[in-house]
Structure 1
Amino acid sequence: MYKRILVPTDGSEITGKAVQTAIELAAMSKAQLFAIGVKEPFPYSAISEMQPVPPQEFYDAQERIASGHVKAVVEAAKAAGVACTAHTVEALHPWEAIIDHAKAQSCDLIVMASHGRRGVAALLLGSETQKVLTHSTLPVLVVR
């Protein structure tokens, strides 16, 4: 079965379902779990100086939020007796960071949530899960 499972988290309720599934899978297969939280880069632009939040404050807030999300995964995994390593990374495109991190950690499965958008909303908003599914060479389990 799977030995190294990656679960991305953004702290949302639907992601919580994917986290729980990943923990259960890891427990059943005695796998190691990896949690990743992706931080947004500072929105540099021609009007960056007019941003209401200075860059360092923005970075600190992003790290605090992402760290909190992965810490919750580590705690839930620990409670279930599953080894979990957590990382936060900054990326413009979360789907790329997820795939890159899965490869870097030699993961053999990615467990992700799907928000289940349909129709025009799905087309316009896109989906990080859909992009991971499209570009990943690793198996991806989608939880809804």
Structure 2
Amino acid sequence: MYKHILIPIDGSSLANSGLEQGLALARELGASVTVLTVYSHFHMPSMETVQLEGVRQVYEHQAKELASSYLSEAAGKASAAGVACATELRESDTPYQVIVDVAMTHNCDLIAMSSHGRGGMAALLLGSQTQKVLAHSTLPVLVYR
């Protein structure tokens, strides 16, 4: 059935739950996984950019370090589950697009991800990344809640 599953994570407890469920699915199917995390660019206010340059560098370093720790922990969980795992770290302000692009370029045949399950006006206002992946992906998407 599925041979290569993309599992996007963001470090939240909900994403970790989705990771565990995705790894269990991969183990049952004998599939490999790629675990992806995307962190945002640092946005500087238009004024005082010279003074904030140091803040940008600190942010970028800490964001990469934190995202890398999520991926390292995920790789450890995959190893413990006996699932072949690759990891991917990206920087972007459009995580849903990175998720779709990585799934395609890594020849994944399923995206398994968590959703906060917001509905109604909250979903419209917050713009769920999961909803955007569902709208833009040509691959099947399994959503854990």
TM-score range for the pair, normalised by the shorter chain length? over 0.9
Aligned counterparts, 1:43-122, within 5 A? 43-47=43-47, 48-51=49-52, 54-122=55-123
- Structure 2, gaps ≥5 residues long: none
Amino acid at match of 1:57: V
For 1:109 and 1:53, locate their aligned partners in 2 and report how far apart those are by CA, in whole Å: 40
**Aligned equivalent of 1:17:** 17
Q: How many residues align?
A: 144
For 1:14 and 1:92, locate their aligned partners in 2 and report how far apart those are by CA, in whole Å: 21
Amino acid at match of 1:44: M
| Deviation sequence 1:47-95 (CA, Å, 0-9, x none) | 3345485222111111011111111111111001111111100111000
Amino acid at match of 2:16: G
Q: What's the offset of the Cα at 1:36?
A: 0.5
For 2:76 and 2:110, locate their aligned partners in 1 and report how far apart those are by CA, in whole Å: 21
**Aligned equivalent of 1:31:** 31
Q: What's the offset of the Cα at 1:44?
A: 3.5
**Aligned equivalent of 2:134:** 133
For 1:10 and 1:33, locate their aligned partners in 2 and report how far apart those are by CA, in whole Å: 16
Q: What's the offset of the Cα at 1:4?
A: 0.6
**Aligned equivalent of 2:143:** 142
- Structure 1, gaps ≥5 residues long: none
| Deviation sequence 1:6-44 (CA, Å, 0-9, x none) | 000111111112101110111011111100110111213
What secondary structure is seen at the aligned counterpart in 2 of 1:54? helix
What secondary structure is seen at the aligned counterpart in 2 of 1:34? strand
Q: Give % identity.
A: 42
TM-score between the two structures when normalised by the length of structure 2: 0.93
Deviates further, 113-122 or 123-132? 113-122
**Aligned equivalent of 1:41:** 41
For 2:8 and 2:15, locate their aligned partners in 1 and report how far apart those are by CA, in whole Å: 8
Deviates further, 110-119 or 131-140? 110-119
